[in-house]
Chains A and B, each alone.
Chain A
């Protein structure tokens, strides 16, 4: 597999696509992220694992400022996002947020398709409303992306007519239509019926063959193994262990990681 670049192997002269430094996030008095450092090279695919409450979703959501970081730095292609306020928290103006989010796409656990728009309109919405693309061009592009996720024939349907797996594939097409440099997946298969998980994972694996930079929070360990170039294990708001899938998933060094993996494989037979 190409681009296997754990943090410390990243060429010294290469600017990381995404650089996170000392990222902290608190909700009230509850500190969920306690200082996260991460450099992501172009084309890296990072699977983020951890038990619930480890901060993995919050970490992902801080990257595109769905949650505002309480402290630390986030830089895209070497350019820092937001400015540090008096209390150390990062703030970003609306124009900056828009640029950030057109470059960093996100896929949610609950799909969150727009129910009042057809599948095609869902995918066109970002390019037309946010990027100002002419409708005809956006439509052609949206049809392409729907074809990519195998749903070209559903273009005129409304989301509620689609299965969960199909909805999530539309959501991926919607994110792709913005042509982002980085894709964030927040537990993309956690709310799907087991028999629908495969079709979504297939689409994500397809994207990984295109060399896209992706970060994925998941509980599907087997998928993480095949998908990722690097695996992070988060524990209590810190990166507890990281490395290649083989290192972290097959030969974890840390006790916590071992216990976590053991719990997840307890019912294998």
Chain B
């Protein structure tokens, strides 16, 4: 069997795909930003000296890490209106699901970075009278941050790809636009391949940029 590739429908509708890409990036950017905040809060909670904070934070982290993201999307979009009467737009539901879920993963990255700071640093901070919060802010987090960058990038790329699940909530991101185009043009092979190339281009360029940043940080650290 000989398949004849025809990319004309893709070029004719490229604007639609670009619009989808922009929406994907919007959802990603928003969710990464909010996810980092949630992650930091969860990590601080998990590492807090009191159980009142560490147990709930640990529970949230483990729950979200060990359940499929598609289910979270459905909860926020379909479940929330049923249970509370609050209905979210597809964007809001997707952003909520993504940020909390990636927040749980980010929290583990933060925690890993924090506990990797040598014991002597914690002791030196305590020995001059620092409290837990001061110690975190002034001594631990600035050192942990550099070590967290590579795994945070990894998680963020993962999140960008997971935004495609928002298609199931009819949010007009790249994969949703592609689904619509595929049914209109009967050219799913060409359209989805183009989508893959678009994702690849964006994420690959981003990773090159990040590598440059890491390189500069490493040079600065070696000063």
Q: Which of B123, B134, B143 contacts A115 (CB 8 A)?
A: B143
Contact of B223 among A99, A102, A158 (CB under 8 A): A158
Are A106 and B127 neighbours in the complex by a CB distance under 8 Å? yes
Number of interface residues of A (CB under 8 A): 29
Give A107-120 as 1s and 0s: 1 = Cβ < 8 Å from B's Cβ atoms: 01011111110000
Complex: A97 Cα to B131 Cα, angstroms: 8
Task: Tell me whether A97 and B123 are in contact in the complex, defined as CB-CB below 8 angstroms, given that A114-B139, A115-B143, A130-B134 are known contacts.
Answer: no
Instruction: Give Cα A172–Cα B127 distance, bound, in whole angstroms.
Output: 12
Residues of A within 8 A of B (CB): 64, 66, 94, 97-102, 105-106, 108, 110-116, 125-126, 129-131, 158, 171, 174-175, 178
CB distance from A92 to the nearest CB of B (A): 12
Q: Residues of A contacting B138 with CB < 8 Å?
A: 125, 129
23 A-B pairs with C-beta separation under 8 A:
A66-B123, A66-B127, A97-B126, A97-B129, A97-B131, A101-B127, A101-B128, A105-B127, A105-B128, A108-B127, A110-B120, A112-B121, A112-B124, A115-B143, A125-B128, A126-B129, A129-B130, A130-B130, A130-B134, A158-B223, A174-B128, A175-B127, A175-B128
> A126 with B128: in contact, given A112-B120, A158-B223 (CB under 8 Å)?
yes
Shortest Cβ distance from A172 into chain B, in angstroms? 12
Sorting the interface of chain B by its residue count into under 10, 10 to 19, 20 to 34 or 35 or more gives 10 to 19
With A115-B143, A116-B143 in contact, is A101–B126 under 8 Å at CB? yes
Report B174-209 residues with CB < 8 Å from chain A CB. Answer: none
B143 to chain A: closest residue by CB: A116
Considering the chains assembled together, what is the distance between the CA atoms of A232 and B10 in angstroms? 85
